[in-house]
């Protein structure tokens, strides 16, 4: 990526919603890990912005506990923490209080002055989506949004998903944010794009000449994308009732994965070129009209069952969920990309909560060899080649191919060649938020979503959501701890195929699960 080796300028990270779970579990631990690895500039600061009254010391102690619990490298070096903590501050204000933003500006300029550095600001909106327009408006009123290249002074904003609820709301939000910030200042974040295996899709495809010639409809039978979760609502029932799996997972995570797998080779790896090609994929998706969505998109809801050895309740028994809810916790559907490369190749997507294993995997299923030579028995054809890209857990790449067993007969069996990041490089890959936060500080937008990409994804999915919303019947169900409803199996079986995940261990201890 263009700015991969660039040392970030001095900056202050302002986290709106600093009392929230995202700050505690992901953001501050990620910045601490970057600090410990020497990837941050000498002069940097973190300012937590929230409505609760607390001192700098109180906030630092809270973040100390967060880092001890969630930082990637354990145990933490307490001397390094004390050095890091001097850069951590807290600013109390409500999001509506204009005076709070004015005093924030004075404080940021003071911190920059103490460091003799430009007042570069990175604003992270770790809040409810309903607060995004308000905070952006207040930042503009307080003149936070100006960047000045002559002074080497910049201002950037990071916006968490979901970015809108449908096409119209996404367009409105884009208009509101772009009224205050230029597009190059806006970083719409999806943490999936910070995972090493996701980034490696481009390298795998375009830095290895053995793959690109066969990455098309002549050689690929179909593609499967699976994003499965073992968790239920975890206290997010009220939010999930307004979202559902289509908005929560498909519109962002799964659309990004689809684009990276299907996109054409960009002219370069700079942000604009990569994002141009992703948008082309979204615009080439065959529309699914509302009437077709009702019959062609499988939506389902989990009921009580056993997941990871524990008895768990059904979705409708979760806190914040209506007793007669029709919100989907599982989605499966088939998509087509109408261009020269992928004409006629189905892309099967599925995602769900309370499934048996936490796993995200992309499967490139190649066409079977002809029924000649070794593959002479129509009743027992050889398994086709399969390239599996494991996004999580145990990030890895696997290739299934055929070999002859030792001995006098011609006995053929499939074997798997497996590359794991932890084994291959002797260390666990960094957390996604580490890479993404560092990229924003460097000004590299490659792994972030541009406004036209957001709108193109919503343009494809909004008719699906509208069609499903108009369905008057009840949703299919699946027991927690199973792989989803029968209707999802029927969807892919109708084409003579079946869902597949490469066999491997998906975790450690209680989360370990063997998958085929």
- Regarding whether 254 and 113 lie in a shared domain, the answer is no
**Comparing C-alpha atoms, which of 245, 254, 246 is closest to residue 281?**
254
- What is the chain's Cα-based Rg? 24
- Regarding whether 234 and 125 lie in a shared domain, the answer is no
Question: How far is Cα 375 from Cα 372, in angstroms, rounded to an integer?
Answer: 5
Q: Is the pLDDT of residue 29 over 90?
A: yes
The answer as to whether 180 is a domain residue is: no
Question: What string of DSSP letters covers 154-198?
Answer: -EEEEEPSP--SSHHHHHHHHHHHHTTS-GGGEEE--GGGGSHHH
Q: Where would I find the beta strands (DSSP E) of 209-294?
A: 220-228
- Regarding whether 219 and 140 lie in a shared domain, the answer is no
- Regarding whether 231 and 365 lie in a shared domain, the answer is yes
Among 115, 135, 160, which residue terminates a domain? 160
CA-angle at 87, arms to 186 and 27, nearest 5°: 45
The answer as to whether 4 is a domain residue is: no
Q: What are phi and psi of 19, to 5 degrees?
A: -90, 0
Task: Map tokens 């009220």 to a residue.
Answer: 238
The pLDDT of 90-108, averaged and rounded, is 94
Assess contact for 47 and 89: CB atoms under 8 A. yes
The answer as to whether 6 is a domain residue is: no
Q: Is the pLDDT of residue 457 over 90?
A: yes
The answer as to whether 178 is a domain residue is: no
Among 141, 160, 179, which residue terminates a domain? 160
- Regarding whether 339 and 397 lie in a shared domain, the answer is yes
Least confident interval from 159-173, 310-324, 442-456, 468-482: 468-482
- Regarding whether 216 and 110 lie in a shared domain, the answer is no
The answer as to whether 184 is a domain residue is: no
Q: What are phi and psi of 244, to 5 degrees?
A: 80, 170
Task: Map tokens 């205050």 to a residue.
Answer: 180
- Catalytic residue selected from 64, 222, 253, 256: 253
- Regarding whether 210 and 138 lie in a shared domain, the answer is no
pLDDT of residue 375: 56
Residue 37 makes CB contacts below 8 A (sequence gap 6+) with none
Give me the CATH number covering residue 155: 3.40.50.720
Question: How far is Cα 77 from Cα 391, in angstroms, rounded to an integer?
Answer: 29
**Comparing C-alpha atoms, which of 113, 121, 61, 28 is closest to residue 434?**
28
- Regarding whether 411 and 318 lie in a shared domain, the answer is yes
Assess contact for 121 and 14: CB atoms under 8 A. yes
pLDDT of residue 412: 78
Torsion sign across C-alpha atoms 218, 219, 221, 224: negative
State the pLDDT confidence band at 507, using cuts at 50, 70 and 90.
Answer: low
The answer as to whether 105 is a domain residue is: yes
Least confident interval from 74-78, 426-430, 491-495: 426-430
- Regarding whether 417 and 319 lie in a shared domain, the answer is yes
pLDDT of residue 1: 41
pLDDT of residue 510: 42
pTM over 0.85: yes
- Regarding whether 201 and 144 lie in a shared domain, the answer is no
The answer as to whether 17 is a domain residue is: yes
Least confident interval from 51-60, 330-339, 440-449: 440-449
- Per the annotation, the verdict on 253 as an active-site residue is yes
282 token code pair: 């979204």
Q: Terminus-to-terminus CA distance in the chain, angstroms?
A: 35
- Regarding whether 94 and 215 lie in a shared domain, the answer is no
- Domain limits at 138? 11-160
The pLDDT of 240-244, averaged and rounded, is 89
Question: How far is Cα 476 from Cα 240, in angstroms, rounded to an integer?
Answer: 18
Residue 130 makes CB contacts below 8 A (sequence gap 6+) with none
For 253, counting Cβ atoms within 10 Å of its Cβ (0-12 exposed, 13-18 middle, 19+ buried), the class is buried
The pLDDT of 16-27, averaged and rounded, is 93
Alpha carbon separation from 506 to 310, 390, 391, 394, 480 (Å, rounded)? 18, 10, 11, 7, 18
pLDDT of residue 314: 94
- Regarding whether 132 and 236 lie in a shared domain, the answer is no
The answer as to whether 444 is a domain residue is: no
Q: Is the pLDDT of residue 295 over 90?
A: no
Assess contact for 431 and 71: CB atoms under 8 A. no
Among 104, 139, 160, which residue terminates a domain? 160
Alpha carbon separation from 418 to 236, 280, 289, 382, 403 (Å, rounded)? 36, 32, 40, 20, 15
**How many domains would you assign to the chain?**
2
State the pLDDT confidence band at 191, using cuts at 50, 70 and 90.
Answer: confident
What tens digit of pLDDT does each residue of 344-371 get? 999 999 999 999 999 999 999 999 887 6
Give me the CATH number covering residue 499: 3.30.360.10
The pLDDT of 275-291, averaged and rounded, is 93
């Amino acid at each position: 990526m263009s700015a991969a080796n660039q040392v970030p300028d001095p900056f202050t990270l302002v986290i709106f919603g600093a009392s929230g779970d995202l700050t505690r579990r992901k953001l501050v631990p990620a910045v601490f890990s970057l600090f410990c690895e020497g990837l941050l500039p000498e002069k940097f600061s973190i300012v937590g912005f929230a409505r609760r009254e607390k001192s700098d010391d109180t906030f630092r102690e809270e973040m100390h506990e967060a880092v001890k619990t969630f930082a990637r490298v354990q145990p933490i070096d307490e001397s390094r923490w004390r050095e890091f903590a001097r850069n951590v501050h807290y600013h109390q204000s409500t999001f509506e209080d204009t005076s709070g933003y004015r005093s924030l500006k004075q404080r940021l300029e003071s911190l920059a002055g103490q460091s003799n550095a430009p007042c570069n600001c990175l604003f992270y909106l770790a809040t409810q989506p309903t607060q995004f327009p308000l905070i952006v408006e207040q930042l503009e009123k307080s003149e936070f949004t100006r960047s000045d290249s002559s002074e080497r002074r910049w201002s950037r904003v990071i916006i968490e998903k979901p970015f809108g609820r449908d096409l119209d709301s996404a367009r409105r939000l884009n208009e509101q944010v772009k009224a205050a910030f230029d597009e190059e200042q806006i970083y719409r974040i999806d943490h999936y794009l910070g995972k090493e295996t996701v980034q490696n899709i481009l390298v795998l495809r375009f830095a290895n000449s053995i793959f690109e010639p066969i990455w098309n409809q002549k050689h690929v039978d179909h593609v499967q994308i699976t994003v499965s979760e073992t968790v239920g609502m975890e206290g997010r029932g009220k939010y999930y009732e307004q979202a559902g799996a289509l908005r929560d997972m498909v519109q962002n995570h799964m659309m990004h994965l689809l684009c990276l797998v299907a996109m054409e080779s960009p002219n370069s790896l700079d942000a604009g070129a990569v994002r141009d090609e992703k948008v082309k994929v979204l615009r080439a998706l065959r529309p699914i009209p509302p009437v077709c969505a009702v019959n062609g998109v499988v939506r389902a809801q989990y009921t009580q069952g056993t997941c990871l050895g524990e008895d768990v309740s059904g979705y409708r028994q979760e806190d914040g969920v209506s007793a007669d809810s029709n919100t989907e916790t599982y989605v499966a559907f088939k998509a087509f990309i109408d261009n020269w490369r992928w004409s006629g190749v189905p892309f099967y997507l599925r995602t769900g909560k309370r499934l048996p294993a936490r796993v995200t995997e992309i499967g490139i299923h190649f066409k079977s060899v002809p029924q000649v030579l070794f593959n002479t028995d129509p009743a027992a054809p050889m398994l086709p080649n399969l390239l599996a890209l494991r996004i999580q857990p145990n990030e890895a790449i696997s290739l299934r191919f055929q070999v002859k067993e030792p001995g006098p007969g011609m006995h053929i069996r499939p074997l798997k060649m497996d590359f794991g990041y932890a084994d291959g490089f002797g260390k666990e890959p960094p957390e996604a938020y580490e890479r993404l936060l560092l990229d924003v500080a460097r000004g590299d937008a490659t792994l972030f979503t541009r406004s036209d990409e957001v709108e193109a994804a919503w343009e494809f999915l909004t008719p699906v959501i509208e069609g499903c919303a108009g369905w008057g019947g009840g949703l299919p169900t699946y027991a927690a701890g199973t792989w989803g409803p029968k209707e999802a199996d029927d969807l892919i079986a109708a084409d003579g195929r079946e869902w597949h995940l490469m066999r491997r261990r998906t975790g450690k201890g209680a989360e370990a699960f063997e998958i085929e």
